[in-house]
Amino acid sequence: MNRTLTIGWDAGSLTGNGYMKRAAQPSRTRKLARHAATVGAIGLWLAAGFCAVSYERDCRALSALADELSADAQTPYELVINLMDWVHHDLGTRHNEGYFLFSSLGPTPVQVMRGSGDCADKSRLLCALLREVGVPATPAMSFDPKTGAAVHTIVEAEPVKGRRMIVDPSYNLYFPHADGSDYYDILDIRGDSTITGQRLTELFRNLPGRREEDKYYLAAWSGYHDLSTFNWDARAAYAALRDILYEWIGDDVYHLRRPILLERPKLAVLIGCVFGGLLLLAPRAGRRMRRWRRTNTPGFKGVEKIAAGKVVHAIEPGSV
């Protein structure tokens, strides 16, 4: 038989014929930690709001430039080439020293757009411009055949669904088929190294005199080796993951698109702040959830009293 049990309680005694449990009271240090976590979460979310506003401003600037540069493009492929041509000719080649909050994240695309950039910086900017006009794009890397280190960065774009092309904003290079009907992508050049040499020979033969700077850049170009969007050989874990993915998607593993977070520092910080705030509040949310489950789970027969700031649960014997 279940009965409602009313309890008289003090800290050192048990009364009544039932079982009584006092919830543990948080210490002063724990209370301060909870308040600090709450303040920290609010701070991170305010920072996320700042990043969101700044990121949106950057997107508008990139979109305005991309729309201007692509206005006279007749085909999606021509759009990609127009954007690459601007990045190549209108920016210096010095590595961009700018960054947003953390130097390890590198420069934002807008910082590159307003300054200069090496191959990685220019590829980051070109990818951002292409995305603003609806063209999926990802950076890809060429590796030293002896050391395996990444030595050059280019871009693989998908101007038409299922049809990809590589473009190199540092050397103003792209690789059309001989009949002009399509363009070569990462997998084509990985499979046939003569494609790049033939293209270089053609460009040296046909470059107009006013593009002496292009001849200079092309003379320094050393080709592409083991093109891939990820450095799969950097760590054993990456190589193992590549082998697993290869079983599913084959050679497509070499032109998987890199996550946009790796190329947009402000977006990466924004999302980091949001999740950081959630993690700070997770312990408090977990405690509230456990308390709710104790008081709302079917079969839990008890009363919850608040006396002198202390929570008391009483459970009648045989009621659970």
pTM of the predicted structure, to 2 decimals: 0.78
Tens-place pLDDT, residues 257-282: 999 988 999 999 999 999 999 999 88
Token output for 99: 């960054």
- The pLDDT, as a whole number, for residue 207 is 64
Q: Choose among 108, 143, 66, 121: nearest CA to 261.
A: 108
- Are 188 and 195 within 8 A, CB to CB? yes
Tens-place pLDDT, residues 155-194: 999 999 989 999 999 888 899 998 777 899 999 999 888 8
- Are 124 and 107 within 8 A, CB to CB? yes
User: Which residues have a Cβ under 8 Å from the Cβ of 283 and sit 6 or more positions away?
Assistant: 37
Domain boundaries, the chain: 27-136+259-299, 141-256
CATH number for the domain formed by residue range(s) 27-136+259-299 = 3.10.620
Query: What average pLDDT does this structure show over 1-13?
Result: 45
Distance CA 116, CA 121 (A): 8
Query: What average pLDDT does this structure show over 202-212?
Result: 66
Q: What is the mean pLDDT of the chain?
A: 82
Query: What average pLDDT does this structure show over 283-296?
Result: 79
- The pLDDT, as a whole number, for residue 212 is 60
- Indicate the residue type of 166: I
Distance CA 53, CA 107 (A): 18
Indicate the pLDDT class of residue 211, thresholds 50, 70 and 90: low
Q: DSSP letters along 251-310, please?
A: GGGGGPPPPGGGT-HHHHHHHHHHHHHHHHHHHHHHHHHHHHHHHHSTT--EEEEEETTE
- The pLDDT, as a whole number, for residue 311 is 47
**Which range is least confidently modeled, 69-73, 187-191, 193-197?**
193-197
In this predicted structure, the answer to whether residue 4 has a pLDDT above a threshold of 70 is no
